[in-house]
Chains A and B, each alone.
Chain A
């Protein structure tokens, strides 16, 4: 079970995550997207889901990541991600509830490059009972 005290807490990613052209190319290739000058709209999940896993699996927070399924996902994109972006990721546990034995957690992640907000994401994760 998630430690209820963690709701509302924000976690700053320790290190910047740099985006390379080859990462964008690989993501585009799966989608048969020919324009690789910018990243596809869902590319940021590559950065934010890792971060969420790291935070939520921390024993102090207590989520059982092995039982997590993705419930829903939302992106608000200020500008497209490009190669060379170097992101600081901050993640906030926005809400937590238990329904029918399942834990439902919403994590918001903000990606900043050069102190500018580029993408905000909201991931709702369900820990199956």
Chain B
């Protein structure tokens, strides 16, 4: 795996990014308290990136936002992968009416263009971490369901599966021993490949003001707030923007490297 250039590039980006984050968290601490009397302070020793429009230490806010992005990405991908995987497996194995119902639900969700469904749901559900994660899960499980269903149909009538059935292997044994081993790697790669997209969707919602409540910092929200002061304090937008860019780039490199590795 280390011969893979893209994987290596992704790893390097992460080591630098997480090294910096961890260093700050351990040696400096994160303080996202609002200090309205200390708004928009310039860069100083006590505030290495200054303070934002709400009087928060910008460095702390950026780190907190990175944490929000990572937490959201992992939760959404894990939930969607498991939920979509189980539904896709059920649809593929059961066939008939169950298959049709699941796939029609998938069609309905796919009828909406990308971010629009998330925006619409978030608009009606209101802000908050839980509702934001729920909104993102709602539109992202369908991809895994489709993938797993397709894979199940591919293996369902393979000779070794039919053979296993013929000697009366249990349902769990067929799924666990004969179906999952070839499907799981494909599903996992799909999951890793989805991380940059989830981070982008999460930060987009926050940029539009539809994600977390205003007092909880997130990268998208910091970029939006920074736009008001872009003429004289471009760092307010640039710092969270750069971290978000590196986060997405790192995950894309990692996932592309991983996929190349799997394809070989």
- Is chain B a partner of chain A in the same complex? no
B→A interface (CB under 8 Å) = none
Which A residues have a C-beta under 8 Å from some C-beta of B? none
